[in-house]
Amino acid sequence: MDNTEKYIYKLYKSINIVSHDLLSIDNLSAAFSMEVYYWEFTSAIVQRKDKYKMFINENLSHQEYKADYFAYHFCVPTFMFRKLRELNIYEIMNLFNIEFDFGLRRLELYKNKILMRGVISNG
């Protein structure tokens, strides 16, 4: 696992989210004591007197590579993904409640990681 994957693994373990059926905005917001609001403006997190509120714009997509990379791993953590063998894209979409393109890209990232691991160990 790389550093992002390790961080996400430890974070999820610390809040007892260890399988895809527990992975939801409701569970995450409860675990972090954070209220979630959907709106038409830029996504943001606000803190006021030890209380957090997250404002999410579902219509915007992340443009930065690091944000995308984190999002793929946060929504479909490698340690959960690894337990699921031989799944097709539709099963992944259903289990993790994600859209087709997002699931397809995450599946590609996972397969590329496995391929690179084989190249490095054989090279």
Q: Which of 53, 52, 72 is nearest to 61 (CA)?
A: 72
User: What sign for the dihedral angle of Cα 18, 83, 10, 112?
Assistant: negative
Task: Give 34-45 pLDDT, tens digit per residue.
Answer: 888 888 876 777
Task: Give 91-121 pLDDT, tens digit per residue.
Answer: 999 999 999 999 998 988 888 777 766 655 5
C-alpha 96/C-alpha 71 separation (Å) is 13
Task: Give 41-96 pLDDT, tens digit per residue.
Answer: 767 777 788 888 887 777 765 745 667 777 888 999 988 888 887 788 899 999 99
Helix (H) or strand (E) holding 94: helix 89-96
Question: Are 45 and 53 spatial neighbours (Cβ–Cβ below 8 Å)?
Answer: yes
